[in-house]
A and B are shown apart, each in its own frame.
Chain A
Amino acid sequence: MNMNANSLIDGLVDELEPIKTIKPITGLAVTGLLTLGVMAAVTITLGVRNDLAMGMADEMFFLRSGVLLMLGIATTFTVVNMARPGVGNLNRGWIWAALTAALFPVTAAIMSAINAPPVEALRPMEGLKCLAISGLSASVIGTGLTLWLRQGAPTSPERAGWLVGMASGALGAAAYNIYCPFNDIYYIGMWFTLPVLISAVAGRLIVPRLIRW
């Protein structure tokens, strides 16, 4: 061993202090609390869907909520596990959740090919509102998750960026979903898919430079 390595090791040993190991459950908790926070903010500022408020929510609401939450939880789970690297850790469960979530836009595309959707079904004004609020919610959740991930050692910052974006996009859309009154497959296929996609792209562009080590 050369002198440089020796003195480096001495220096690192001198700096040593007890540390708490990173626990993925903390990352999950941070994400969960932020998601509940933005859900509360949506509820307070916009309210909840009428059918939900009356306790008779449409079945599409449950399907949409379940798929968005599953996608958000599965991708968050992968992200928090990326904080603790190790050869052999594959964490690919999120792929199945993403494929399941793709059923909404794929179904909308197939239905559009069979019957051209009426323009009013897409509701561009309401859709843009959905996109903006979901995106804002996603940015809050994504910021918290990224800050937590910075403590860890993700070995693939690009993939972590995609997944942080996808997780926060899905959870942000799930928060807006509490208010959104529309159940049309065309609307859901477009306006609940776009926030996830845009958030994933934003995550890929922004997050890697913040978590690289």
Chain B
Amino acid sequence: MIANEETMRILMVKAQGGDKQCYSSLLLECEKWLRRYYARKINPAAIDDLVQETLISLHRKRASYDPTKAFLPWLAAIGRYRWIDSLRKIYRHEHDELYEEMVADPQDEDVTAKVSLERLLGMISDKQAEVISLVKIEGLSISEAAAMTGQSESLVKVNIHRGLKKMSSLIENE
């Protein structure tokens, strides 16, 4: 069970005021939320690092949260930024089983749907999203992705590059 949007907002406001107990609770909730947020959107072996990097970014950039606004859209913007950054760094990883239990968070379904990574992937072309999913998330090689999609290897690379670039410009879009 993850705290709801309003609870997280209140915890964040208190954390900005220096309340360590609230901050600890908030980070624990964010850690759980981020694990679900990134599930199926990055190789499971990379999730720990990505979640931790996002928590560090949250900490460093906590002054950028506007206490009068909802918390999850802010967290999601930071999460998307770190996710795309992470996808750019991944060139090849092992095939792993995706954790079946890591399904989308049922809490705050409306908010989660608006800020989801799925929606971000839906903003780029199908061909770009397909090769990003195959190579950067599922861990196939460029040649495997090329054989699977019928795109040439160079086109796979171009589509990955363009897709990531497009997504990075759309991070704050719903």
Q: Which of B15, B24, B52 contacts A4 (CB 8 A)?
A: B52
Question: Top 3 A-B pairs ranked by shortest CB distance?
Answer: A18-B18, A85-B77, A153-B61
Per the bound structure, the CA–CA distance linking A13 and B26 in Å amounts to: 10
B89 at the interface (CB under 8 A from A): no
Chain A residues with CB below 8 A from B36, complex form: none
A-B contact pairs, 13 of them (CB 8 A): A4-B52, A5-B52, A19-B62, A86-B74, A87-B73, A87-B76, A87-B173, A88-B114, A90-B173, A151-B64, A152-B63, A155-B81, A213-B57
Q: Which of A14, A21, A85 contacts B67 (CB 8 A)?
A: A21
State the Cβ distance, B101 to closest chain A Cβ, in Å.
Answer: 14
Q: A5-B48, A90-B173, A156-B172 are in contact. Are A84 and B115 (CB under 8 A)?
A: no
Q: A9-B28, A16-B15, A17-B18 are in contact. Are A88 and B73 (CB under 8 A)?
A: yes
Chain A residues with CB below 8 A from B66, complex form: 21, 84, 86
Q: Which of B27, B168, B174 contacts A9 (CB 8 A)?
A: B27
Q: Please determine whether A88 and B174 come into contact, CB atoms closer than 8 angstroms.
A: yes
Chain A residues with CB below 8 A from B57, complex form: 153, 213
State which residues 132-160 of B face A: CB under 8 Å.
none
Best-buried of A1, A18, A85 by chain B (most CB within 10 Å): A85
B105 at the interface (CB under 8 A from A): no
A2 at the interface (CB under 8 A from B): yes
State which residues 153-174 of A face B: CB under 8 Å.
153, 155-156, 158-159
A: interface residue count bin: 20 to 34
Q: Please determine whether A87 and B174 come into contact, CB atoms closer than 8 angstroms.
A: yes
Per the bound structure, the CA–CA distance linking A64 and B74 in Å amounts to: 38
Q: Please determine whether A86 and B169 come into contact, CB atoms closer than 8 angstroms.
A: no
B39 at the interface (CB under 8 A from A): no
Chain B residues with CB below 8 A from A90, complex form: 172-173
State which residues 25-80 of B face A: CB under 8 Å.
27-28, 31-32, 48, 51-52, 55-57, 59-67, 69-70, 73-74, 76-78, 80
Q: Please determine whether A5 and B31 come into contact, CB atoms closer than 8 angstroms.
A: yes
Q: Please determine whether B63 and A13 come into contact, CB atoms closer than 8 angstroms.
A: no
Best-buried of A21, A22, A152 by chain B (most CB within 10 Å): A21
Residues of A at the B interface (CB closer than 8 Å) are 1-2, 4-5, 8-10, 12-22, 83-90, 151-153, 155-156, 158-159, 213
Per the bound structure, the CA–CA distance linking A10 and B31 in Å amounts to: 13
Best-buried of A12, A14, A22, A87 by chain B (most CB within 10 Å): A87
State the Cβ distance, A46 to closest chain B Cβ, in Å.
Answer: 39
Per the bound structure, the CA–CA distance linking A14 and B73 in Å amounts to: 26
Q: Which of B16, B48, B56, B171 contacts A87 (CB 8 A)?
A: B171
State the Cβ distance, B35 to closest chain A Cβ, in Å.
Answer: 8
Q: Please determine whether B27 and A153 come into contact, CB atoms closer than 8 angstroms.
A: no
Per the bound structure, the CA–CA distance linking A10 and B20 in Å amounts to: 10
Q: Please determine whether B80 and A8 come into contact, CB atoms closer than 8 angstroms.
A: no
Q: Please determine whether A8 and B55 come into contact, CB atoms closer than 8 angstroms.
A: yes
Q: A5-B51, A21-B66, A87-B174 are in contact. Are A16 and B61 (CB under 8 A)?
A: no
Q: A4-B48, A18-B17, A87-B73 are in contact. Are A13 and B65 (CB under 8 A)?
A: no
Per the bound structure, the CA–CA distance linking A20 and B23 in Å amounts to: 16
Q: Please determine whether B172 and A85 come into contact, CB atoms closer than 8 angstroms.
A: yes
Chain B residues with CB below 8 A from A5, complex form: 31, 48, 51-52, 55
State the Cβ distance, B92 to closest chain A Cβ, in Å.
Answer: 23
Per the bound structure, the CA–CA distance linking A18 and B13 in Å amounts to: 10
